[in-house]
Structure 1
Amino acid sequence: MDFLKSAIGSAIAKGGGLPFSLGDKVDIGDSVWSLHNATKRDDGSDCSVFVFHIDANRSRLPLAKNAMHKSRTLRHPGVIKVLDTIENEQYLYIITERLVPLSWPVKRRSLSEETAKWGLYTVASTINFINAHASSVHGVVRASSVFISQSGEWKLGGFDILSSMKEDDAIIYTYGSIVPDAARYTPPEVVKGGWDVIKQNPLAAVDAYGLAILIFEVFNGSFSGGDQVGKTTNIPTSMHQSYKRLCTANPKFRLSPGHFVEQGKKHGGFFQTPLIRMTEDIDKLGLMDEAERENFINELDQLPEEFPEDFFKMRVLPELLKSVEFGGGGPKVLSATLKIGAKLSAEEFNAMMTPVIVRLFGNPDRALRVCLLDNLPLMIDSLPKKTVSDKIFPQMTSGFTDVAPVVREQTVKAVVPIITKLSDRVINGELLKLLARTARDEQPGIRTNTAICLGRIAKNLGAADRAKVLIAAFTRSMKDPFEHARAAGLLAFSATIDIYKDDDCAQRILPAICPLLMDTEKLIRDQANKTFDVYLRRIRKSAATMPDTVIPPSARAEAPSRPEPRAGAAGEHSWAGWAISSFTNKIATASGAIEPTATSAQPADVETARPASAPRPTQPSTSTTTELHKQALRPTAQPLNRSHSDRPPLVPYHDDPEEDADDVFEAWGAMDDDEAEPDPFTATTASPALSSSKAGAVPFDDGGEPDFAGWLAAKSGAAKKPLPKGLSKAASTNTVATRSSVASAKPRAVVVPKKIDTKPKEEPEDDWGDAWD
C-alpha cells in the first residue's frame, strides 16, 4: 500500500494529472518551497509552480499551508498573481504567473539605479497596503521574498508567516522563528523579546526593518547580518535619511513603509523618477485628456534605453494600443507605441501589433495615416509579406490620390520600405500606375520624390519593361520646371546606369541629358556634367569592344575602291574625309557627256545632284579631271560685301522664315562654303544693263532648284538642240551669263524673259545662323 502511494505521488510530482507540465527547477535559496518553470496544458502559456513536499518537510507544513491560503486571498498589483492552488497527500502546489527570483539580478549587481528605485517603490507600496489596509504583518521582507514577473515588475511573495494582527492565534507568533535563515533578518527587539513583542510596538515596525535590509541588499548585492543594518554604502544619497529611519533600533521611532513612500514622492524626492510616474499613469491613460496624454508621452520619450524593456512590452504597450485604437490617442501615442514595438521579436510583434496596425490603416484619420507611413520603416521587417501585400497596401493606395498633399507625399515615400513585401504582380501593375500619376502631380515636391522613389526601387521592377519605364520617368523629370526634380532625374539616371542597354544610353539617355548641360541653374549643370561623363565613359568602353565593321568580306570585295587620298586633302578618317571622297568618286565615275553647244569650245560635264541650298560650283571652260578635283577641294574667298556690279542677278525673295529654317537645317554641309568661288548659276556678268542698274543685292534664296534650262540656253545661244530628257524646264526668271562670255571680248546680249522688281530688299546683317536657334 505504501508502495502504491509512493508511485502515485511520484506521478503527480512529474505532472501526471495536473493542469501544468513541470519544467526546470529554479534556485531561490533557502526556502520551504521549491520553484519550477512550467507550462499550462490548456493553452501552452508559461507559468511558475511553487512545490512543497509534505513528507520531506512536515515540520514546516503550517508555513506552507499559510502561504497557500494567503496567496489565494490577498489581491494587489504588487503581489504575486496566483492562477491556482492544488493540495494532495504528498504535495502542495501554488501555480502563479511566470517569475524570476529578484536574488538573481541582485547577486549579479545588474540593476540600474532607476530600476532599483522603481522596484523598491513597488515593494514599499505593497508592504504599506499589507500593514495599513490589511492590518497584517508580512514578517519576512527580504530579497528572497521578492520576484520579477514577465513584465519586469517586482512582486512580493513569501507569505509563509503573513498574519493578521486581528487574530489572537496568528501563525507569526508560533512559527515565526522556524522560518529559514530567520536569525539573520529578525529585528533586534524580536531577538530579545520574541515575536509576541510585536503586539507592543507599531504594526509596521517589523516590516520597516525588513524593508531597510532589502534596500541594502539591492544596492550592495548581499546582506550578511545585523552589523550591516544602517550602513549607507552604495545607497543613493537622496535616500540616506529615510533609509536610516527605517532601521533605527527603537521600533517606536521607525519610519513606516507608508511614510517612506510619502517622503520619496515629495517634490525632488528619491521616488520622483520618470519610470515611477509612468507606472502610476499608465493605468489612467484611457481617462486622460489631450494635455495630460501629451505630457505622458513626452515623459515616455525621455526615458533612457536602460529601462526594463519587458515592462514596456507587457504593461505599457497594451495600454498604448488601446489608447490609439479606442481612446483617441492620436499620432503622438502611436509614435511611442511603434517605438516600443520595434524592440519586439517577430513573433511578439505579429501577435501584439500586426492586427492593430492593419486596423489602423483602415482608419480615415489623415494624421494617423501620415504617422503610420512615417514610421513604416520601424515595423516593416516584422510584418508578414502576405499581410502587407493583401491587407495593408490595398488600404495605402487611397493615399496616392488623397486631396491632402502631405498624405500623397508620405505615401510615395512609404513605397521604398514596403517594396520588398509586395508581389511582382502588384509592383508592375497597380503600383507603377499609381506612381505614374504622382509623377505628374501638381506639387513639385511630390514629382521629385516620385523620381527618387523609382530610382530606389528600380531593381525591384520587372526586367521586361523596367528600362522603358525608368527612361520615360526620368526623362520627364529632367524636363520639369522645378530644379530639384531635374536634379532627381539626373541622380536617378546615375544610380540606375547598370539597368540600361548600351543603345539606350547612346540614343535616348545622353540626348536627354545634353540640354541640361546649359541649364540656368549651376546645380543642375554640375550634376548634368557628372551624369553625362558617367554615361559617356560607359559608351566608350562598350564601343571599344565592338568590331571594326559588320559588313561581310564578300560585300566589301564587291564595293568600288576609293581613290588614294592626295597630299593636302582631308584624310579618310577625318570628319570631312568621307564627304569629299564621295563627291570626287561620283565625278570620276560619271559616264557620258553633255553634247557641246554651238558657242562652246569644250564639252560640259553634267553637274551631280546637290541640295537646293548648296552654292553652285564653278564650271571650268577647260580642265582635266584632276583639275576638277583640285578646284573642288580648294577653298576660295567670296567677298561678303560686293558692289552692285559684282553682285549676282536678282532672284525672287521668299519671305517665309519656317521654309528658310528648314532649308538651313537640310543644308548644314554648305555652311563652310561662304568663301567659295562665285556660284556659276548666279554668277555676276559684265552686262552694262546690270552694271548701270540701281537694283541692290537680295538675300540668298535657297528655296528652289537651280535654273538648269536657262543656263544651258545662255551657253548655246538659241538652244539649237533639245535638252536631254529630265533637264527640260521653263525659262528661268534670272538673268544668266556664262563664265566664258565674261572672258570673251564681245559682250553678249542678256535674255530677260520678264521684268522683275529690282527694288532692293532689306538685307539682315550676318543672320545665317538664326535658323539654327
Structure 2
Amino acid sequence: MWSFFSRDSSKDFPYDIGEQVPGFESHSIWTLHKAKRKGTQEEVSVFVYDIRGGSEGKCEIAKAALKRLKTLRHPSILQYLDSLETEKTLYVATEAVEPLGITFEQLATDIPQKALYLSWGVFQITRALSFLNNDGNLRHNNVCAWSVFVNSSGEWKLGSLEYVSPVDGNPMPPHKVPPALEVYDPPEKNDTNKLKASTKCSVDMWGLGCLIWESFNGPLKLRSNLKDIDNIPKSLQSLYCELVGASPSNRPNPADVITRCRKPGGFFKNDLVDTLLFLEEIQIKDKAEKNRFFSGLTLHLDHFPDNICKHKILPQLINAYEYGDAGSAVLAPMFKLGKLLDEAEYQKRIVPCVVKLFASTDRVTRSRLLQQLDLFIAHLQPQVVNEQIFPQVAHGFLDTNATIREQTVKSIIHLAPKLNYNNLNVEVLRHFARLQARDDQGGIRTNTTVCLGKIAPHLHPQVRQRVLVSAFIRAMRDPFPPARVAGVLALAATQQYFLLSEVANRVLPSLCSLTVDPEKTVRDPAFKTIRGFLGKLEKVSEDPSLRETMEADVHTATPSIGNAAATWAGWAVTAVTAKFYRSQSDSSRPRPPLTGRNLSKPASLEQPSSSSLSTTTSSVTSMTSLEHESNDTSASASDYGNNDWDNENWGEMDVSKHSYKFIPLKNFLLNKYQFHFIYLLFFFVFWLDITGPK
C-alpha cells in the first residue's frame, strides 16, 4: 500500500525523456532534453528543472515561466504541450526545438540563402515581441540567442519566459540568475537617469539588437562587440544602430520595426517572407490570388532553405490542394518539393495525394499531372500504378480534347515499365491501334508511333513480334509526312525485334514504296533504313551462322545490350528515344483522305520541353467532367494483324481476324451534284436520239 503512494509520478508523464542538449544549461535554469511521445514516437523537447538542486528563488522563476508558457499562445512563441511537477523535478514538454545559440554553426553558408533565412527568423521574433509589448502589455526582458528556439520547420520561436513582467511595473530589468546572460543587459540598467526614459519596449528592443548582431556574427561575448556592424546587411544597419542606441527612448516599437522593414528594399521584404506570410493567410485569399501565387512559387523554391521547404511550405501546399480551392497550379511546386522527402515520407504524404489527383475530372489538373509524371513516377509502386493510376489515365485516350489524348500517349513512356501484362500488352495497344488508325490529328498519330517505338522493350515478345511491323508499316502509309517519318525511324530503331524473313517479305517492300514519296524528309530516312536492312541480310547471306545473333532479341523479354546487329541503326534509336513530334494547331482542318498523300510541308521532329509537353490544339480548358468519344472503341492489339500492312483502306476497315466493319451505305449514294450531272447527261443523249437523222 505504501509503495503506491511513494511511486515515481514521472512515470505518468506521457513522454520518454532522452539525451540532454549540451550547452544550453549554462544560459538557463533549465536543462533541455530530446524526447518522444509514448506510443506515437513523435519527437518533442522537454525542459527539466531540478527543484531540490535549486534555490527557492529559482523555483519561483521556473514556475512563473511555466505559467506564462501555458497562457501565451502565438505562432512565434514556443508551443506548450504538457507539464508535470513532482517533489524533485519540474517537466515542461514543448514542440521539438533546438536553442538558436547552438545552431549558428549549422546555418547555411550560402550568403543569399542565409540572408533570406535570417530575415524570416528575425521577423518572427519581432512579431512575437510586438504581440507581448503591444497586445499583452508585457516585457520579455531576456531576448537573446538563448531565448530563441528553432523547430524542424526552421521557424524561430521565442521562449525562456522566466523574466516576463508587466510593462506598468518596475522598469528596472530583472536580475538574471545565469551569469552568462548579463552580457545582454541594456546600458540603462546601471544608469538611473536613462532608466527614467525607458519605454515599454526599450529593453526588448535592446535584446532584439543583440539578437540581430548574433545572427550575423555568432554568440555575443562582450557588450562592446555590438559596435562592429560590418557583417550586418546595409538594409538593416540604420535600424540596428537605433536598437542598440544608448538612449532607450529612441529605440523603436517592434510594430514600427515590422512596418519599416516590410517596405520595398527593407530587410523583411523578400520572396521568402512574402511566401510564408501568404501561406499563413491563404485561407482568406481568393482563388485568383492563389493561382498567381502558386504559378510563380516554383521559380523561387531553389533559393529557399530546404528545411523550410520540406517542413513548412510543402505541408501547406498539400493542405491547400486537399482542403482548399488552390487548383492545379499547386501541383508544380508540390512535386518539386516532394524530391526533398525520403521514400517513406513520400509514400505517406505525396502518393495518396497523387492518386486522388488522378481521379479528378478537371482537365487542367489531368493535363498538368501528365506533364509532370516524370517527377513522381519513380516513387509509385507497380500495384498503385496498375490498380489506381492507369485506369484513370486510360480515360485520356478517349478524351474529346486532342491535347489530353496526346499527353496521355506520351505518359505511357513513363508508365510502361510499371504496367502489368494486360494493361500494357492489351489495353495500351488497343488504344494505340485506334489512335494510330483513326485519330484526326496528325501529331497524335505520329506520336503514337514514336511512343510505340519507345516502349517496345517492355512489350511481351510474342505481342511485340505480332504488333510492331504492322503498326510501323501502317504509319508509313499515313497521309501526314511526319507520321511516315516516325514509322521509318521506329522500324530502324526496333530492328532487333524482327525476324529476317519478316524483314525480307514485309519490311523492305514497304520501305521501297517510300523511295518515291513526295517528301524528301521521308525519302532520306527510307533510303538509309533500306541500306541498313539490306546490309543485315547480306551479312547473314555471307555467314548464315549470324542469323541466331541477329534474331537473338526477337523472343527475349530483356534485350541484350550492345548487340552488334543494332549498331547500324544507332541514328534511328537516338531519334526515336529522344524526340516527339511537336504538333501544330491543326484541329481546325479536317483529316485528309487516308487513301491519298498529304503534300503539305513536313514538320520537324523536335525535342520536347521537360516542363511542358507539346500540344495539338489550343490550351486545355477546365471542365467539371470528362467527355469521352462515343466512336468505336473495340480496337484491340489484334488490330495490328499480319495482313494489315497491305490493306489500302485501313482507315475505313478493321482487318482484325475476328471482326470486320462494313463501309457505310451512304458512301455509295450519289450527292446532289452527281445526280444532276447524270440526269443532264441522260437528257442530252435522249435529245440526240430523237433529233438526230433517221
1:186 aligns with 2:181: no
Offset at 1:232? 1.2
Conservation of the 8 A alpha-carbon contact between 1:278 and 1:299:
no
2:501 aligns with 503
2:167 aligns with 165
Question: Which entry has the higher C-alpha Rg, 1 or 2?
Answer: 1
CA distance in 2 between counterparts of 1:61 and 1:471 reads 86
Gap change, CA 1:228 and 1:425, over 3 Å in 2? same
Counterparts in 2 of 1:685-724, with a 5 A limit?
Answer: none
SS of the equivalent of 2:199 reads coil
Conservation of the 8 A alpha-carbon contact between 2:301 and 2:309:
no
Gap change, CA 1:520 and 1:47, over 3 Å in 2? same
1:426 aligns with 2:423: yes
SS of the equivalent of 2:219 reads coil
SS of the equivalent of 1:178 reads coil
Alignment-mate amino acid for residue 110 of structure 1: A
1:151 aligns with 2:149: no
Conservation of the 8 A alpha-carbon contact between 1:81 and 1:97:
yes
Offset at 1:28? 4.3
CA distance in 2 between counterparts of 1:199 and 1:352 reads 56
SS of the equivalent of 2:376 reads helix
Q: Structure 1, residues 575-605: CA drift from partner, whole Å, max 9, x if none? A: xxxxxxxxxxxxxxxxxxxxxxxxxxxxxxx
SS of the equivalent of 1:465 reads helix
Gap change, CA 1:234 and 1:465, over 3 Å in 2? same
Gap change, CA 1:449 and 1:548, over 3 Å in 2? closer
Counterparts in 2 of 1:692-771, with a 5 A limit?
Answer: none
1:46 aligns with 2:43: yes
1:227 aligns with 2:224: yes
Gap change, CA 1:110 and 1:317, over 3 Å in 2? closer
SS of the equivalent of 2:143 reads coil
Alignment-mate amino acid for residue 473 of structure 1: A
Offset at 1:186? 0.8
CA distance in 1 between counterparts of 2:39 and 2:72 reads 25
Conservation of the 8 A alpha-carbon contact between 1:416 and 1:457:
yes
Gap change, CA 1:58 and 1:512, over 3 Å in 2? farther
CA distance in 2 between counterparts of 1:264 and 1:270 reads 5
Compute the TM-score of the two structures, normalised by the length of structure 2: 0.73
Alignment-mate amino acid for residue 359 of structure 2: G
1:253 aligns with 2:243: no
1:23 aligns with 2:25: no
Gap change, CA 1:186 and 1:498, over 3 Å in 2? same
Alignment-mate amino acid for residue 144 of structure 2: R
Between Structure 1 and Structure 2, the one with more helix by share is 2
Alignment-mate amino acid for residue 293 of structure 1: K
Offset at 1:547? 6.8
CA distance in 2 between counterparts of 1:548 and 1:294 reads 61
SS of the equivalent of 2:41 reads coil
Conservation of the 8 A alpha-carbon contact between 1:109 and 1:220:
no
CA distance in 2 between counterparts of 1:366 and 1:456 reads 26
CA distance in 1 between counterparts of 2:81 and 2:107 reads 31
Conservation of the 8 A alpha-carbon contact between 2:48 and 2:92:
yes
Counterparts in 2 of 1:376-391, with a 5 A limit?
Answer: 376-391=373-388
CA distance in 2 between counterparts of 1:411 and 1:198 reads 73
Alignment-mate amino acid for residue 488 of structure 1: A
2:631 aligns with none
CA distance in 2 between counterparts of 1:129 and 1:361 reads 44
Counterparts in 2 of 1:231-246, with a 5 A limit?
Answer: 231-246=228-243
List alignment gaps of at least 5 residues for structure 2.
Answer: 548-694
Gap change, CA 1:514 and 1:77, over 3 Å in 2? same
Q: Structure 1, residues 399-454: CA drift from partner, whole Å, max 9, x if none? A: 11011111111111111112222222321122221222222211111111111111
Conservation of the 8 A alpha-carbon contact between 1:230 and 1:243:
no
CA distance in 1 between counterparts of 2:284 and 2:539 reads 70
2:615 aligns with none
Deviates more, 1:392-401 or 1:16-25: 16-25
1:400 aligns with 2:393: no
Q: Structure 1, residues 334-390: CA drift from partner, whole Å, max 9, x if none? A: 222222223322222222222222222222111111111111111111223221211
Counterparts in 2 of 1:338-357, with a 5 A limit?
Answer: 338-357=335-354
For CA contacts below 8 A with separation 6 or more, give which structure has more relative contact order: 2
Conservation of the 8 A alpha-carbon contact between 1:82 and 1:96:
yes
1:311 aligns with 2:308: yes
CA distance in 1 between counterparts of 2:237 and 2:545 reads 90
Deviates more, 1:79-88 or 1:318-327: 318-327
2:467 aligns with 469
CA distance in 2 between counterparts of 1:359 and 1:320 reads 15
1:296 pairs with 293, 296, 317, which one? 293
1:139 pairs with 138, 141, 154, which one? 141
1:522 aligns with 520
Q: Structure 1, residues 123-168: CA drift from partner, whole Å, max 9, x if none? A: 1111111111111111111112212212221111111212223567
Counterparts in 2 of 1:540-579, with a 5 A limit?
Answer: 540-546=538-544
Gap change, CA 1:272 and 1:512, over 3 Å in 2? same
State the identity as a percent. 34
Conservation of the 8 A alpha-carbon contact between 2:540 and 2:546:
no
Compute the TM-score of the two structures, normalised by the length of structure 1: 0.66
Gap change, CA 1:35 and 1:8, over 3 Å in 2? farther
2:115 aligns with 113
Deviates more, 1:505-514 or 1:182-191: 505-514
Alignment-mate amino acid for residue 219 of structure 1: F
1:535 aligns with 533
CA distance in 2 between counterparts of 1:280 and 1:438 reads 48
Aligned residues: 538
Q: Structure 1, residues 741-768: CA drift from partner, whole Å, max 9, x if none? A: xxxxxxxxxxxxxxxxxxxxxxxxxxxx
CA distance in 2 between counterparts of 1:63 and 1:540 reads 95
Conservation of the 8 A alpha-carbon contact between 2:197 and 2:248:
no
1:85 aligns with 83
Alignment-mate amino acid for residue 187 of structure 1: P
Offset at 1:105? 3.7
CA distance in 2 between counterparts of 1:548 and 1:469 reads 25
Alignment-mate amino acid for residue 185 of structure 2: T
Q: Structure 1, residues 20-69: CA drift from partner, whole Å, max 9, x if none? A: 22233223432222222222113222222222222233452223222222
CA distance in 2 between counterparts of 1:369 and 1:544 reads 54
Conservation of the 8 A alpha-carbon contact between 1:513 and 1:532:
yes
CA distance in 2 between counterparts of 1:418 and 1:296 reads 31
Conservation of the 8 A alpha-carbon contact between 1:28 and 1:101:
no
Alignment-mate amino acid for residue 181 of structure 1: A
Offset at 1:199? 7.4
Conservation of the 8 A alpha-carbon contact between 1:103 and 1:144:
yes
Offset at 1:507? 2.5
CA distance in 2 between counterparts of 1:232 and 1:298 reads 38
CA distance in 1 between counterparts of 2:219 and 2:296 reads 33
Any runs of at least 4 consecutive aligned residues in structure 1 with deviations exceeding 4 A, and if so which? Answer: 197-200
Conservation of the 8 A alpha-carbon contact between 2:298 and 2:332:
no
Gap change, CA 1:381 and 1:303, over 3 Å in 2? same
2:275 pairs with 273, 278, 303, which one? 278
2:575 aligns with none
Gap change, CA 1:394 and 1:230, over 3 Å in 2? same
List alignment gaps of at least 5 residues for structure 1.
Answer: 550-773
Conservation of the 8 A alpha-carbon contact between 2:291 and 2:327:
no
| Root mean square deviation of aligned Cα | 2.7
2:636 aligns with none
SS of the equivalent of 1:141 reads coil
Gap change, CA 1:98 and 1:535, over 3 Å in 2? farther
Gap change, CA 1:367 and 1:185, over 3 Å in 2? same
Deviates more, 1:369-378 or 1:424-433: 424-433
